[in-house]
Amino acid sequence: VRRAGLAPRRVRDVLPARFGVLLAAEAAVLVVLLAVAALTASPDDMDRAGRTLTVACGSLTQSRGPWPGLFYGAPVLVALAFGTAACGYALRRITGRPVPGGDTAVVAADAGRRRDRARAVTAAWGLLVSAPLAGTALFASGALRSLSCVGPVVHTAGLLLLPVAAVAAGTALWSLLTVLAPPAAFRSRS
């Protein structure tokens, strides 16, 4: 006879809270940045849409690229949508399986395994969010800062994207390390 506990299990109970908030913020920044870049993108010199940023200042026209317009941004958004759905499904599966019956030590060990698995899935999603954000912010920053005929607001926006790229790169590194060497692997060796 198998037994299972009747305690409600929710995805938010197993998610790493602070890391989840950081990733949600990074995902929002990525979507907004790609949307703004898509709206401001121009065709490049070979007339391929969404690859450069072109500005006209009087009689001077400048184009800078690569620019994260639709050519580069659409595949990122599609991957983000599918990856988010896959990670959400995995998290529902992690929390939805029955809790083994038995003493409190078995239940506590099961809860720990659920948190470790949720951390790995969240880190995989973090890699999916933060790596493209780091690249997008870095390339957009470079393009904005290299325009000479625009005002200080555009250059400031380019400078503000540098810390965004740095934080996203750090998040991507942490996510990669968590996926490759999850904390559960270290606990099982001791």
Is 148 a domain residue? yes
Q: 56 lies in a domain? A: no
**Domain-embedded: residue 2:** no
Instruction: List the domain range (segments joined by +) for residue 164.
Output: 11-49+66-184
Q: What is the pLDDT of residues 32-75, one digit of tens each?
A: 999 999 999 888 878 888 888 888 888 888 888 888 999 999 99
At residue 190, the pLDDT reads 47
Give the chain's domain count.
1
pTM of the model: 0.84
Structural domain contains residue 174: yes
Does 190 reside within a domain? Answer: no
Q: Can you give the chain as a three-state secondary structure string?
A: CCCCCCCCCCHHHHCCHHHHHHHHHHHHHHHHHHHHHHHHEECCCCCCCCCEEEEEECCEEEEECCCCCHHHHHHHHHHHHHHHHHHHHHHHHHHHCCCCCCCHHHHHHHHHHHHHHHHHHHHHHHHHHHHHHHHHHHHHHHHHHHCCCCCHHHHHHHHHHHHHHHHHHHHHHHHHHHHHCCHHHHHHHC
